[in-house]
Amino acid sequence: MRDNQPRTISPDTLPEVITRYLTAHRAHDTATALTAFTREATVIDDGNTYEGIEAIGEWLDRSATEFTYTIHLASAQQTDATRYIATHHLEGNFPGGTIDLRYQFTLRDGLIERLVIEP
């Protein structure tokens, strides 16, 4: 087991593939967001697991229309060469109204292989 401590990095130094995904996700641009993932990628969000590009596309489309919210990239960390955490602050019409979510990325071959989103 690795117990690397994440180190804080500037959000603008996140890898391009993560920035591309986050920008496309904010813009509800599913097609561009999907270009950031490997074909076999896994996303875990809200207790649900989405495996493969088709399931991730359906998740992106649904999450874009379920609630209205603003999202702000509050901080970024790097755990190791392939793992990054981007913490976002969301405010909107979802239960609770505000939340900070940690987007935990694992990269492989320059693409997102795994994304876990949790408080």
- Please give the average pLDDT of every successive group of 10 residues along the chain, which has 119 residues: 78 96 93 98 96 97 85 95 96 93 97 97
Report the distance separating Cα 119 and Cα 113, nearest Å. Answer: 20
Is residue 52 in a domain? yes
Q: How many domains does the chain have?
A: 1
Is residue 2 in a domain? no
Is residue 99 in a domain? yes
Domain that holds residue 83: 7-118
Which residue, among 93, 88, 60, 63, has the nearest Cα to 76 in the 3D structure?
88
pTM: 0.92
Residue 88 phi, psi dihedral angles, 5° rounding: -115, 145
Query: What CATH number is attached to the domain comprising 44?
Result: 3.10.450.50
What local confidence, expressed as pLDDT, does residue 1 receive?
A: 43
3-state secondary structure at position 11: helix
Is residue 87 in a domain? yes
Is residue 108 in a domain? yes
